[in-house]
Amino acid sequence: MENLPHFPGALIKLERLMAADESVKIDEVAQLVAQDPRLVTGLIGVVNTPKYTTGAKITGLNDAVVRVGLRDVRLMANAINYKTSFKRKPPFSENHFIKHALISAFIAQILVQALKLNAGIAFLCGLMRDIGIYLLATEDREAYLKVIKLAKYDIAKLIHSGVTVFGGASRF
């Protein structure tokens, strides 16, 4: 259980604040983000990428929240937490895994708009949808490598190979 990603108090408070009220103030969000150094450095880093920059470097948290927008701060805070939560490394590219998780999250967020469901919750569901793969790969690296080889790198065979190697739910 200690290897599961944790959600820092600041992120939980941010989720509650954003879910509870539409009239959230920038200062409130900045104060919550400021409680977790990983979120601060991640957010400041993101707003200084080509996607968000306007030429002037942003170093202040309030300015970063304004630049990204309240809705995206929530999504970024969750993505930053997700990316920095794991202690062990998997036997595959973390960068590709994170990119895939973020793409899944953004697709889920777009799909729920037509259904008039909560886009934030959809984003989190998309982000966390493959967490089991990551946990299996980090919990027993050698066994996960056997899964990959047994599947012959064919994603369609991955689940069957995983059940064969890990023995299904009874292993846990």
How many structural domains does the chain have?
A: 3
Nearest by Cα to 147 from 132, 135, 157, 139: 157
Structural domain contains residue 165: yes
Residues 66 and 2 in one domain: yes
Q: What's the rounded Cα separation, in Å, for the pair 96 and 140?
A: 20
* Residue span of the structural domain in which 107 resides: 88-129
Q: End of a domain among 66, 85, 104?
A: 85
Q: Which pLDDT tens digit goes with each residue over 52-108?
A: 888 888 888 889 888 888 778 887 887 777 777 666 778 888 778 878 888 888 888
Residues 74 and 117 in one domain: no
pTM tops 0.75: no
Residues 93 and 109 in one domain: yes
Residues 61 and 110 in one domain: no
pLDDT of residue 170: 41
Q: End of a domain among 52, 67, 85?
A: 85
Q: Which pLDDT tens digit goes with each residue over 117-135?
A: 877 788 878 888 888 888 8
